Structure 1
Amino acid sequence: MNLPVIDLSPYLAIAGDDSDHKLSPELTALCGDLSRSLRETGALLVKDPRCSVEDNDRFIDMMEKYFSSPHEFKVLQERPHLHYQVGVTPEKVEVPRSLIDEEMQEKLKAMPKEYQPHTPVGPDLKWRYFWRIGPRPSDTRFQELNAEPVIPDGFPEWKETMDSWGYKMISALKVVAEMAAIGFGLPKDAFTSLMKQGPHLLAPTGSDLQKYGQEGTILAGYHYDLNFLTIHGKSRFPGLYIWLRNGQKVEVKVPVGCLLIQTGKQIEWLTGGDCIAGMHEVVVTNKTIDAIRLAEEQKRSLWRVSSTLFAHIASDAVLKPLGQFAESPLSGKYPPIFAGEYVEQELAVINLKGKDENLHD
């Protein structure tokens, strides 16, 4: 099954026009297609002319160089006392939700065999770097979710490369959020107004395929994202699987020049469960091994870098079903909660919160 590819160019051409009622029937239909894909599959492929293949390549090149640095250098950028919400998270720290969530484990056992995810046996084998994108609130109840950035020594291009790619991807997501709101029958700024000053994170992961390149190895165990929407550029190594709303398991192929969007838990909250957080995993497959062999022949890096950005609802905004979704029979499952409070609860479950504060300064 191929996910639909939606070209954002027609909408970008009228973006900035503040009236809701001027959308052409074609654009209204496009917004409907986009929201339907998020609802039915939890995922979507988009083309944004502002996000080029060269931008993605420059970003991945730098992150391959960073992740291949020595372990003792990378841990200098680790900030466990800030719940790992800035800087690096080493491999074997983050625990996939499916390893500890008993309700989720029961659901997995009930799935048809061919759709079942791989069963995690421990924490994820991926490294991750968190870099904040966009302005932060000067006054917030959730300081550690809005901390100062960490820049590794020896990477003079770091800030410019991270900010450039991060701002381009968040710009694409804001257009998707606007179009989705229109498709869901909400005011077009229903989501984007809540995203202002959110703790958006450019969050590339790095998996060492020289070390973990055996078929069946789980790089990121079955999980959902706790944020609003997630966007990825194309990775150089396959291995990402997603689950559609009907339970079907799909290997994701991102065409060159496209970006992958996935739904997170915060959009589920805001739509009262009409749109649910998409489940996914990253596993070494026979196609990953083919890509490893090719990279070895071409003397390229064997680090699998995901070019990922997590867009969030602002920490001090309240998550609750919006508009007609507040009347949905499921809305009671989504009581009002500050987005920052929700994020902290989730971080505690996946082992990114609650470390000993005295371990690091």
Structure 2
Amino acid sequence: MTDVVLPIVDLDLFLSQPPQSEVVQQECKKAADALINYGALLLHDSRVSEDDNDIFLDLMEDYFAQPEQDLKRDERPELGYQVGVTLENTEKPKCAVDEPCLQIIAKLAPSERPLDITAHSPDPKCRFFWKMSEKPPYETQFPGLNAANVVPQSESIQIRWTAVMEKWGQSMKNA
């Protein structure tokens, strides 16, 4: 298996250069190409602390290194996985099987269509959804919007979790 090196998109360029400048346009192309080719990219933003990034990544590594049965305690499928963990091979691309979605794609110009979606398997990544908002001041018909964030049960992770997640989320919101 070949290691993939994701492109790094420098957000500082977007803050320091005019939108139509050549350097910004090249950075936009780099971002678009990364999303087309890899479905992901790395961002550099000098407004976000490298130390905060490292602390967040260390927490995520510790969290996802737990045994699967420990991770499963943090799943909330009844809330559409809108809080807590979503384990690998859980999420399936809607458009691979949804006829109205497939019809919309068929109407797009070939250059605008997504790459092959017919052979998609469930998503192989794990993720953790931590909401960065307060509970709405009203009840909604969507229980996931009213649900509290999930804090992992592992003591060694639990004691760091909320502070790190809130700090990292605030960094993302402020950037």
TM class by shorter-chain length?
0.5 to 0.7
Cα displacement (A) at 1:61: 1.3
2:128 matches 1:134:
no
Q: List alignment gaps of at least 5 residues for structure 2.
A: 1-6, 36-40
Partner of residue 160, structure 1: 163
Mapped to 2, the partners of 1:73 and 1:3 lie a distance apart of 33
Cα displacement (A) at 1:161: 0.8
Taking structure 1 as reference, are residues 140 and 50 closer, same or farther at Cα in structure 2, changes over 3 Å only? farther
Mapped to 2, the partners of 1:69 and 1:87 lie a distance apart of 15
Counterpart code for 1:162: M
Alpha-carbon deviations, 1:280-311, whole Å to 9, x = none?
Answer: xxxxxxxxxxxxxxxxxxxxxxxxxxxxxxxx
2:51 matches 1:77:
no
Mapped to 1, the partners of 2:61 and 2:107 lie a distance apart of 36
The structure carrying a bigger helix percent of its residues is 2
Q: After the TM superposition, which residues 33-182 of structure 1 pair with which residues of structure 2 at under 5 Å, given as runs?
A: 37=28, 41=32, 47-100=44-97, 101-103=101-103, 106=106, 110=110, 116=115, 120-141=119-140, 142-153=142-153, 154=155, 155=157, 156-172=159-175
8 Å Cα contact 1:96/1:123 also seen in 2: yes
Taking structure 1 as reference, are residues 90 and 5 closer, same or farther at Cα in structure 2, changes over 3 Å only? closer
TM-score w.r.t. the length of structure 2 is 0.65
Partner of residue 228, structure 1: none
Cα displacement (A) at 1:78: 0.8
Mapped to 2, the partners of 1:119 and 1:68 lie a distance apart of 32
Cα displacement (A) at 1:120: 4.0
Q: List alignment gaps of at least 5 residues for structure 1.
A: 12-25, 173-361
Cα displacement (A) at 1:130: 0.6
Mapped to 2, the partners of 1:3 and 1:107 lie a distance apart of 33
8 Å Cα contact 2:95/2:117 also seen in 1: no
Alpha-carbon deviations, 1:55-112, whole Å to 9, x = none?
Answer: 212111111111111111110011111111111112221112442242366479945x
Taking structure 1 as reference, are residues 93 and 107 closer, same or farther at Cα in structure 2, changes over 3 Å only? farther
Number of matched pairs: 150
TM-score w.r.t. the length of structure 1 is 0.35
Alpha-carbon deviations, 1:307-356, whole Å to 9, x = none?
Answer: xxxxxxxxxxxxxxxxxxxxxxxxxxxxxxxxxxxxxxxxxxxxxxxxxx
SS in 2 for 1:77: coil
8 Å Cα contact 1:51/1:169 also seen in 2: yes
Taking structure 1 as reference, are residues 104 and 83 closer, same or farther at Cα in structure 2, changes over 3 Å only? same
Partner of residue 7, structure 1: 12
The structure carrying a bigger strand percent of its residues is 1
